[in-house]
């Protein structure tokens, strides 16, 4: 297979590298200080994009996170999906959008639009889905706009699986970062990380991130839910609606990232599984907690929980969603 191509977008203080395989973010390099700093995890070898390894920076679809037993019913019709994790469907199935070669539809120095056609029945999902992802850089920020249309009623929840490390990729675990998430509840899971349907109050739990908490302290807490995920691997039900702040991450050096989203959920995944198999562009193998993913999304398994916000996309309607990453620095 030929190596996927890569596209660099630039604005004041930032360079974004996107690869066509998986429409993935490979590097976000901040250039506003003496030393350029790449703050997302990426593969050192560009040829590793699209191989299905760990979803680094990839566009996830058709459905971010898990659909239980690879099955859901929509308007009384049961749909069986391809499964890829303990009989469940994770991140769109075994051949998710992260594995596809996307087409560059449009680009200039500050933006690129990538497109993908997913045929009717792809991974078991109903409806032919046409998807675009547009990355746009502006001084100190990245904006991601998702669009999708279908010819049959279906479900969709797209996200990006970037792992952040504000000390720079390969600089060690994110334990000294602080994280704040304005969520009063999170979707509690079973041991297989499937939502039970319960929206659990964060009060008195390690999931209370309404004020910033040091990740190392959160992860050191003895808690059954944390044990399920080998750390944080949970969907927060973020307050409010429309494009709003859903997370604030702060590195030990005072580097900050504000994540904005118009989605109801945010998956916080503290990267327990990194075991040195993946080596980043700087040559350092990634160990546990090498980065933290902040995935803006519909709720996991929402097609099987009537009480969760709907992820149904009707034929003729347009799915539209926006995520923004705003980088800064404490004074």
The residues annotated as belonging to the active site are 161, 295
* Burial degree of 185 (CB within 10 A; 0-12, 13-18, 19+): middle
- Give the interface segment with ligand BGC, choosing from 127-135, 178-186, 254-262, 266-274 (CB under 6 A): 266-274
Count of positions (residues) in the chain:
331
Query: DSSP letter string over 275-297?
Result: -S--B-TTSPBP-TTS-EEEEEE
Residue choice 269, 274, 286, 319 for contact with ligand BGC (CB under 6 A) = 269
Judged by beta carbon, residue 64 or residue 167, the one nearer ligand BGC is 64
Cis geometry, peptide bond prior to residue 219 (ω within 30 degrees of 0): no
DSSP code of residue 123: G
Residue choice 20, 59, 65, 165 for contact with ligand BGC (CB under 6 A) = 65
Judged by beta carbon, residue 234 or residue 250, the one nearer ligand BGC is 234
Query: DSSP letter string over 21-81?
Result: BTTEEEEEEE-SSSS-EE-B---SSGGGTTS-STTTTPEE-SBSSEEGGGEEEETTEEEEP
Q: Give yes or no for a contact between 99 and 2, defined as CB atoms under 8 angstroms apart.
A: no
Going residue by residue from 226 to 245, which x/- string records binding to ligand BGC, judged by CB under 6 A? Answer: -------x------------
Judged by beta carbon, residue 239 or residue 273, the one nearer ligand BGC is 273
295 lies in the site for ligand BGC, by CB under 6 A:
yes
Residue choice 43, 49, 55, 146 for contact with ligand BGC (CB under 6 A) = 55
What φ, ψ does residue 224 adopt, rounded to 5°?
-60, -45
DSSP code of residue 101: B
Residue choice 267, 284, 296, 321 for contact with ligand BGC (CB under 6 A) = 267
48 lies in the site for ligand BGC, by CB under 6 A:
no
Shortest CB 189 distance to ligand BGC, Å:
9
Shortest CB 111 distance to ligand BGC, Å:
26
Q: Which two tokens stand for residue 109?
A: 């120095």
Judged by beta carbon, residue 114 or residue 293, the one nearer ligand BGC is 293
Judged by beta carbon, residue 55 or residue 97, the one nearer ligand BGC is 55
**Residue in the shown chain whose Cβ atom is closest to ligand BGC:** 269
Report the DSSP beta bridge partners of residue 134.
113, 145
294 lies in the site for ligand BGC, by CB under 6 A:
no
| Chain contacts with ligand BGC (rule: CB under 6 A) | 54-55, 65, 193, 233, 267, 269, 273, 293, 295
């Amino acid at each position: 297979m030929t190596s996927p191509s890569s596209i660099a977008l630039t604005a004041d203080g930032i360079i974004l590298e996107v690869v066509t395989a998986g429409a993935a973010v490979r590097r976000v390099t901040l250039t506003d200080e003496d030393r350029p700093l790449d703050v997302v995890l990426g593969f050192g070898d560009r040829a590793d994009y699209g191989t299905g390894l760990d979803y680094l920076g990839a566009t996830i679809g058709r459905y971010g996170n898990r659909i239980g037993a690879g099955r859901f019913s929509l308007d009384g019709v049961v749909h069986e999906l391809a499964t890829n994790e303990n009989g469940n469907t994770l991140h769109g199935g075994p051949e998710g959008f992260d594995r596809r070669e996307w087409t560059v539809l449009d680009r200039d120095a500050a933006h690129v639009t990538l497109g993908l056609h997913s045929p009717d029945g792809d991974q078991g999902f109903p409806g032919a889905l046409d998807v675009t992802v547009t990355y746009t850089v502006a001084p100190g920020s990245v904006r991601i706009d998702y669009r999708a249309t279908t010819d049959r009623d279906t479900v969709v929840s797209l996200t990006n699986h970037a792992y952040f490390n504000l000390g720079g990729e390969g600089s060690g675990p994110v334990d000294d970062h602080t994280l704040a998430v304005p969520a009063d509840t999170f979707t509690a899971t079973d041991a297989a990380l499937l939502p039970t349907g319960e929206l659990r109050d964060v009060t008195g739990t390690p999931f209370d991130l309404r004020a910033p908490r040091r990740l190392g302290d959160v992860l050191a807490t003895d808690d059954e839910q944390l044990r399920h995920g080998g750390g944080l691997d949970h969907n927060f039900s973020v307050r409010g609606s429309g494009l709003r702040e859903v997370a604030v991450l702060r590195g030990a050096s005072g580097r900050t990232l504000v994540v904005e989203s118009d989605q109801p959920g945010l998956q916080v995944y503290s990267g327990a599984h990194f075991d040195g198999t993946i080596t980043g562009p700087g040559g350092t193998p990634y160990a546990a907690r090498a980065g933290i993913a902040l995935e803006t999304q519909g709720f996991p398994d929402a097609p099987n929980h009537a009480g969760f916000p709907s992820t149904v996309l009707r034929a003729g309607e347009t799915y539209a969603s926006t995520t923004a990453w705003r980088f800064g620095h404490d004074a």
